Amino acid sequence: MSINTGKTPLIKEPADDLFRPAPLDNEVSEEIGTPSVSFWKEARERLFKNKGAVISIGVLVLIVVMAIIGPMMNEHTYRSQNLLHSNLPAKVDGLGWLGMNGLDARGKDVYADRNIEENYWFGTDEFGRDLWTRVWKGTQISLFIALVAAALDLVIGVIYGGISSFYGGRVDNYMQRVIEVLMGIPNLIVIILFILILEPGVTSIILAMVITGWVGMARVVRGQILQLKGQEFVLASRTLGASSSRLIGKHLLPNVMGPIIVTVMFTIPTAIFFEAFLSFIGLGLQAPLASLGVLIEDGYKSMRYFSYKLIYPALVISLTMISFNLLADGLRDALDPKMRR
């Protein structure tokens, strides 16, 4: 059809051969144009975009590796003593660290003065024990205590909080009263009393931390499950006859893994701090065992004249705690559902 005003047509109808239907394959007509991205994959991508979290992962990997292989990198052990080599500054193949070059506070070469040919990379303490070996052995023990305590907190807290929130009613009421009693008692007092009952050591420190450490995890899990158990997918699963164990294991716990992981990552530096604090006040590990808290306490006593004894363990524990906290912050942002595109 065309508009004709007695002159040349201004608008002409296009020819039929200019339009052809596009080929349509019914088998792929409903395919998604872009690949689907799972929640965990997207969270991982967001985590690795966080520079602070990536650097923290690298630092933590380095510290863990050094804690494993560091004590085996020289011929010294963490408990071997040599009083003739006491209070030596750091020296590595004639080149000291932090500008000391094997010199004491007066600029005197104590290695040459005592005819000592061995090198001590972090120096020695008052008993002639190698600080390099003791620092990395102490890091190993501190990380072990923190990881075991965090793992026990995770297991106890998830089970307790999950049962309390899932069954609700009187069960939840009674279980929450127990948590309130434990929270009403200062955590430090409980830990100190427990360590006084048992002999100071790795086992007693771990058990003392676990007594009240799981409370925070239980409250997080309880709050998350209370939020989820009334949602449609849980009601649909229950309607279809799913058992309680299946509801908890297949539907509820996987949906609270994000907050659980973040809580665990914050628990580890807290456990490291408590272990260091207990060792610093004399309730932690006993000689000749070493932990970061023990080494900091020893370095504090002689900080005025032998500052290197305090610098190295303080540097390691600071890097460890900062890295865990930055990684926990990165995980919290990465696992936040509100951050999804």
List of domains in the chain:
40-87+124-339 (1.10.3720.10)
Q: Which residue has the tokens 């690795």?
A: 48
What local confidence, expressed as pLDDT, does residue 192 receive?
77
Q: How far is Cα 139 from Cα 318, in angstroms, rounded to an integer?
A: 11
Report which DSSP code applies to 23: P
- What's the rounded Cα separation, in Å, for the pair 299 and 317? 13
- Residues of the chain with pLDDT below 70 are 1-39, 92-109, 112-113, 115, 336-341
Contacts of 129 (CB under 8 A, 6+ apart): 76, 78, 79, 80, 81, 82, 288
- What pLDDT is stored for residue 100 in this prediction? 53
Identify the pLDDT of residue 183: 82
What are 79's two structure tokens? 């408990």
Q: At what angle do helices 131-167 and 308-334 cross, to 10 degrees?
A: 30
pLDDT at 61: 94
Q: What pLDDT is recorded for position 29?
A: 46
Closest CA to 334 of 232, 275, 258: 258
The predicted pLDDT at position 99 comes to: 44
